[in-house]
Amino acid sequence: MHCGQQVYLTTVDNWSFGKIRATGPMTATNVKVTCEAAGMRYPCIGSNADGCWGFMWDPDGDCITFHHDECETLPALSSELCGHTDGAGTQCQPLDDTFVYSLGWRSDGSAYGVDYDTHSWGLQGANYNNMYALCAVVV
């Protein structure tokens, strides 16, 4: 597992978000390793906004949280990048094939992904290879 092509996405709440091409299955572990290899952190599936559900972030782990009106990270970034949150981030082309760290979401360790071409969300990362890991760095 190693990191590849890096693409800047947007900045929210003092975090600069980007996606990095990962090698191998899109598991939460691979997302974490890919981000860390690039000297970046990895966001949780949830943004930690007020009133959001606690299962969406890992308060005991290292994934970052940020504050946004949206509870979920991918729709929050879709709001910033594309001006809407329709389709859980699936209708925002810059987020195509992007997977976000999600601790315990699936028993196979899958990260949570979206696909712009099919407008699909909740892609089970263990079934996909060589896609993008969502990463962030403090600005």
pTM of the model: 0.88
Inform me whether the pLDDT recorded for 27 exceeds 50: yes
**Contact present, 95 and 113 (Cβ < 8 Å):** no
110-129: b (≥16 Cβ within 10 Å) or e? bbbbbbbeeeebebbbbebe
> What is the rounded average pLDDT for all residues in the chain?
85
* Tens digits of residue pLDDT in 49-106: 666 765 555 655 678 878 788 888 898 899 999 987 776 777 899 999 999 998 777 7
Which has more pLDDT, 46 or 21?
21
Residue spans of alpha helices (H) in 1-139:
28-37, 73-82
Does the pLDDT of residue 122 top 70, yes or no?
Answer: yes
| Backbone conformation region of residue 49, classed left if phi is above 0, alpha if psi is from -120 to 50, else beta | beta
48 versus 84: the higher-pLDDT residue is 84
Q: Which amino acid is at 111?
A: A
Q: Is the pLDDT of residue 2 over 50?
A: no
Domain boundaries, the chain: 3-138
| pLDDT value at residue 26 | 96
Name which residue leads in pLDDT, 22 or 87.
22
